Chains A and B, each alone.
Chain A
Amino acid sequence: MTALIEAERLTRYYGKHCAVNDVSFTVAKGEVLGFLGANGAGKTTTMQMLCGNLAPSAGQIKINGFDLLDQPKAAKLNLGYLPDTPPLYKELTVQEFLLYCAGLHGIAKSSVTAAINRAQQRCGLMDVADRLIANLSKGFQQRVGIAQAILHNPEVIVLDEPTVGLDPIQIREIRALIRELGQDHSVILSTHILTEVQESCSHVQIIDRGQLILNETIAGLNRQMDTGTLQIATRLALDINSLLTIPGVSSIENISENRIKIHHSVTANPAEQIAEQIIAAGWGLQELTPVKRSMEDIFISLTKEHREL
């Protein structure tokens, strides 16, 4: 796996305010990285630095092996960027605008039409190709912004909040598009919508107050969601003391007469033994569910932890 994006110890100051502090990460081909953070956490600043719109105060960025500072043109050739506000010339039609973008990215004359058609098809813009961008709805404008970012088939695609202002159907389409793009490109996606990350990303990073506080795969994140708690409901009242003797069970919480919460260690899951014992005792097992933390819980607890430090 070759790393298409390498960011090393990125730091950015605005005056004395430190917006991004010592952030390092890599993204390989075929990965979709979700960049999560509260408002003002430093997401957009990081994105802008990755795309050469902002120079980092310290640190290094390599796109497809080219240093963004030493070889900006070679690095930017492999880069597609959708900023938080789509950069659109409202007085142009979609077709004209994409033609101009093709010129900016130096797409060869012979392949311009094919590239524009492909981008329009992928973003569902075929029907509005001849309309003025100013007259399009917010959702379509957002799609034109995405079309612009993928037009030149770049290795690295950076999308800053791509689904803002879209309706639910469009959001699903865009997420599917992102997953599709992720197969043979590197995609970085910033968002504060947590389900979006679960749906379309393979990796997650959480940034808070300029610092990276989590860098995980989605599978790893799912493991983190496992809290080591089981919720059990039965028809008859339970004998808690006998359940406590099962190895791995650390404590039991009584919610109501027929409903308890069992806390156990994360490594050894005693669900099987508990079920056997309840059935053997004839208490009438009705429900046994693992309690999962939602993505939001993780996000909130991580940012809280970080702020308390």
Chain B
Amino acid sequence: MILTIASREFRSLFLSPMAWTILAILQFILAFLFLTQVEAFTSLQPKLASIESAPGLTDIIVPPLFGNAGIILLLVTPLLTMRLICEERRNKTLSLLLSAPISNTDIILGKYLGTLGLMLLIIMLITLMPLSLLCGGELDFGKLFANILGLLLLVTAFTATGLFMSCIAGHPTVAAMGAFGILLLLWILDWSVGMNDQGSELFAYLSILRHFQNIQSGLISSVDVGYFLLFISTFIALSIRSLDNDRLQK
């Protein structure tokens, strides 16, 4: 049941120009950033050669690329998730799912996994860029893997937030704005840590950016992974609750 919904969600993304446009634009922008990074590396190479334990090819190219991809996906994910539940409710197609023998959990997870399918595709396409460097150089696969994992956890968290906003918002635009607002807030929360507030410890923990950067640096700790898993399950649970709420009151 979950897979039925997920596969329909995934395929319907490609029925509209939406998914294609996003894939094309993302790929174009990130390819440009990737090339700038490669350019930077070639100009730095002579200097790096004289330094002991200098950052390698992977260090200079991969983290900035994946970091930028994270920021761009912060903007893009709300656009992809805004229609998930909201549109079904507006088009009155939600009752098809509600009167079918499937639970609300199935509906939410199906929608979530369907969108994640596209996210995986995006990450795969991004990963192809550093892999192309294998033609003429060597990569630190451990670091590359850490970056892929970081970006994956990041977008799954983004998607969960977007899905929740789509559940509670009455209009897709509102859902997109809401999701973008929450994500941006959590992203920049880190900036206030420098000030000596009492809440800064909490803020530092809540900041998505900090956890993402920790993983990106190659340090995969259970604190960071746990943060993302907690984040995702919270928003998924909230989404299911909000769909349940639909039946109870209107």
Among B1, B103, B247, the residue within 8 A (CB) of A104 is B1
Contacts of B4 in A (CB 8 A): 100, 103-104
Question: Is the Cβ of B247 less than 8 Å from the Cβ of A51?
Answer: no
Interface magnitude class on chain B? 20 to 34
Contacts of A129 in B (CB 8 A): none
Among B16, B93, B101, the residue within 8 A (CB) of A76 is B101
**For the complex, what is the distance from the CA of A106 to the CA of B250, rounded to whole Å?**
29
Question: Is the Cβ of A79 less than 8 Å from the Cβ of B103?
Answer: no
Question: Is the Cβ of A73 less than 8 Å from the Cβ of B103?
Answer: yes
Contacts of A87 in B (CB 8 A): 91-96
Residue B25 lies at the interface, judged by CB distance under 8 Å to chain A = no
- Chain A count of residues within 8 A CB distance of the other chain: 29
Residue A225 lies at the interface, judged by CB distance under 8 Å to chain B = no
**For the complex, what is the distance from the CA of A4 to the CA of B92, rounded to whole Å?**
27
Among A53, A100, A105, the residue within 8 A (CB) of B98 is A53
Contacts of B102 in A (CB 8 A): 73, 76, 104
The answer to whether A76 and B92 touch (CB under 8 A), given A53-B247, A103-B4, is no
**For the complex, what is the distance from the CA of A237 to the CA of B36, rounded to whole Å?**
110
Chain A, residues 83-113, CB within 8 Å of chain B (1/0): the string is 1010111111000000011011110000000
For A74, give the chain B residue with the smallest CB separation.
Answer: B101
Question: Is the Cβ of A106 less than 8 Å from the Cβ of B247?
Answer: no
The answer to whether A104 and B12 touch (CB under 8 A), given A53-B95, A87-B93, is no
Q: From B94, B98, B103, name the one whose CB has the most chain A CB atoms within 10 angstroms.
A: B98
**For the complex, what is the distance from the CA of A105 to the CA of B99, rounded to whole Å?**
9
Give A54-83 interface residues, CB cut-off 8 Å to B.
54-55, 72-74, 76-77, 79, 81, 83
How many Å from the CB of B4 to the closest CB on chain A?
4
Residue A52 lies at the interface, judged by CB distance under 8 Å to chain B = yes
Chain B, residues 1-44, CB within 8 Å of chain A (1/0): the string is 10011001000100110000000000000000000000000000
Question: Is the Cβ of B101 less than 8 Å from the Cβ of A88?
Answer: no
Contacts of B249 in A (CB 8 A): 14
Question: Is the Cβ of B97 less than 8 Å from the Cβ of A83?
Answer: no
Residue A205 lies at the interface, judged by CB distance under 8 Å to chain B = no
The answer to whether A54 and B247 touch (CB under 8 A), given A76-B100, A91-B15, A100-B4, is yes
Chain A, residues 181-204, CB within 8 Å of chain B (1/0): the string is 000000000000000000000000
Contacts of A90 in B (CB 8 A): 91
For A77, give the chain B residue with the smallest CB separation.
Answer: B101
Contacts of A54 in B (CB 8 A): 247, 250
For B16, give the chain A residue with the smallest CB separation.
Answer: A91
Chain B, residues 222-248, CB within 8 Å of chain A (1/0): the string is 000000000000000000000000011
How many Å from the CB of B154 to the closest CB on chain A?
30
The answer to whether A76 and B99 touch (CB under 8 A), given A52-B247, A83-B92, A87-B92, is yes
Q: From B4, B16, B101, B103, name the one whose CB has the most chain A CB atoms within 10 angstroms.
A: B101
**For the complex, what is the distance from the CA of A182 to the CA of B96, rounded to whole Å?**
22
**For the complex, what is the distance from the CA of A52 to the CA of B99, rounded to whole Å?**
6
Give B147-198 interface residues, CB cut-off 8 Å to A.
none
Question: Is the Cβ of B93 less than 8 Å from the Cβ of A88?
Answer: yes
Residue A229 lies at the interface, judged by CB distance under 8 Å to chain B = no
Give A244-302 interface residues, CB cut-off 8 Å to B.
none
Using A87-B95, A104-B4, A104-B101 as known contacts, list a sample of 20 further A-B pairs with CB atoms less than 8 Å apart, ordered by residue number in A: A48-B95, A51-B98, A53-B98, A55-B248, A72-B101, A73-B103, A74-B101, A76-B99, A76-B100, A79-B101, A83-B92, A83-B95, A87-B96, A89-B12, A89-B93, A91-B12, A92-B12, A103-B8, A105-B100, A106-B101
